[in-house]
Amino acid sequence: MAEKIWLSSPTMHGEEQKFVKEAFDTNWVAPLGKNVTEFENEIARYIGCRAAAAMTAGTHALHLAFKLAGVTSGDVVLCSDLTFAATVNPVSYEGGVQVFIDSERETWNMNPEALEEGLKKYNGRVKAVVVANLYGTPAKLDEIVELCDRYNVVLIEDAAESLSATYKGRQTGTFGRYNAISFNGNKIITTSGGGMFLSDDEEAVQKVRFYSTQARDPAPWYQHSEIGNNYRMSNIVAGIGRGQLLHLDEHKSLKKAIYERYERAFADMPVTMNPYLPYTEPNFWLSCITIDNDAMGSVTPEKIRLALEAENIEARPIWKPMHMQPVYANNDYITVNGDDVGADIFERGICLPSDIKMTEEQQERVIKIIKGLF
């Protein structure tokens, strides 16, 4: 069997060990410490925001964003529908209710027209909007920001998948009042697990640090006036992140090259690459295709996935939209003109191997297998 080709696996470089060794050498392996502080500062500088708080997961950064937004029992949060469950699940942690907003076809992200419908329908009940940048592609962020400002609703940007992507030259992870990124094992850089809360509101970041260390009051004994969480990143994990961050732009460049090779190879085929707006620069975290409607009879995403799997190559379906998930079967879902874009992309789409350690020869194998199916 040929060597496994992964969808997107961690890529270590060596500098990570230097920062981790420093934590060991100083016996600073517990949560917090120099690596955590420096990682927060380095990410904030790279992104261009005022402050950051390193967390055990991007999901936890989102949870505390919903908490800061004041989401409580029965409050509505308008959510990207075509995303991973971690974008929307934390709404439930605070007792909120998810209302899902369909995608548009130009970026596969939240449709501003559908968002406006949701803001009108639930006017007075909406506490927040959470928009995800799917597969590293920025959403129509200007339009979404404008709508949230007009309706006086907190915008939370889930930039978990889009670290280093830009919208009109501005980094994603800076468009919401509160923002989250992820360092999960398959992301563009990884700490093995972990994430970060980002904001220009330095008081909000301080509050997140407070909540994520069990909401301990400033007293010599353990005193708590609020309910907190154990969400802070460890000094060891942050060391891995500092080493990874040195290679972020390199990783982005390699991801883009993979996307462009697929794009050239499939130019004359009945498939379409995951799209992006001309004034954005995705990080190309995952390269995806949708099969044209008239070709769906003979070839399906599952047929492609199984053909690749038979050759020890990992591919995955597009995220199954949240409104199609059993756990959210009773939640409202807002579309434009009854056109279920998210379901259509899910049914016709597949994520292709996008691992930056994949050689050009290996990628040619992937391409040859897919072309052979058509």
Q: How many CB atoms lie within 10 A of CB 234?
A: 21
For the cut 80, the answer to whether the pLDDT of residue 94 exceeds it is yes
For the cut 80, the answer to whether the pLDDT of residue 30 exceeds it is no
Residue limits of CATH 3.90.1150.10 in the chain: 248-373
Q: Mean pLDDT across the stretch 186-209?
A: 97
pLDDT band at 118 (very low <50, low <70, confident <90, very high): very high
Q: Find out whether 183 and 241 touch, Cβ atoms under 8 Å.
A: yes
pLDDT band at 31 (very low <50, low <70, confident <90, very high): confident
Fold that domain 15-245 belongs to in CATH: Aspartate Aminotransferase; domain 2 (3.40.640)
Supply the pLDDT for residue 1: 80
In CATH terms, the superfamily for domain 248-373 is Aspartate Aminotransferase, domain 1 (3.90.1150.10)
312-340 per-residue burial string, b: 16 or more CB within 10 A, e: under 16: ebbbbebbebbbbeeebeebbbbbbeeeb
Distances (CA, A) of 156 to 24, 64, 142, 218: 36, 11, 13, 29
Q: Mean pLDDT across the stretch 4-22?
A: 97
Supply the pLDDT for residue 152: 98
Supply the pLDDT for residue 273: 98
Three-state DSSP class for 258?
helix
Residue limits of CATH 3.40.640.10 in the chain: 15-245
Measured CA to CA, the distance from residue 362 to residue 364 in angstroms comes to: 5
pLDDT band at 281 (very low <50, low <70, confident <90, very high): very high
Supply the pLDDT for residue 180: 98
Three-state DSSP class for 284?
coil
* pLDDT per residue as tens digits for the range 126-150: 999 999 999 999 999 999 999 999 9
Beta 178-182 vs 195-199: how paired, if at all? antiparallel
Supply the pLDDT for residue 150: 98
Q: Find out whether 334 and 117 touch, Cβ atoms under 8 Å.
A: yes
For residue 154, the cross-strand partners are: 128
Q: How many CB atoms lie within 10 A of CB 146?
A: 13
pLDDT band at 32 (very low <50, low <70, confident <90, very high): confident
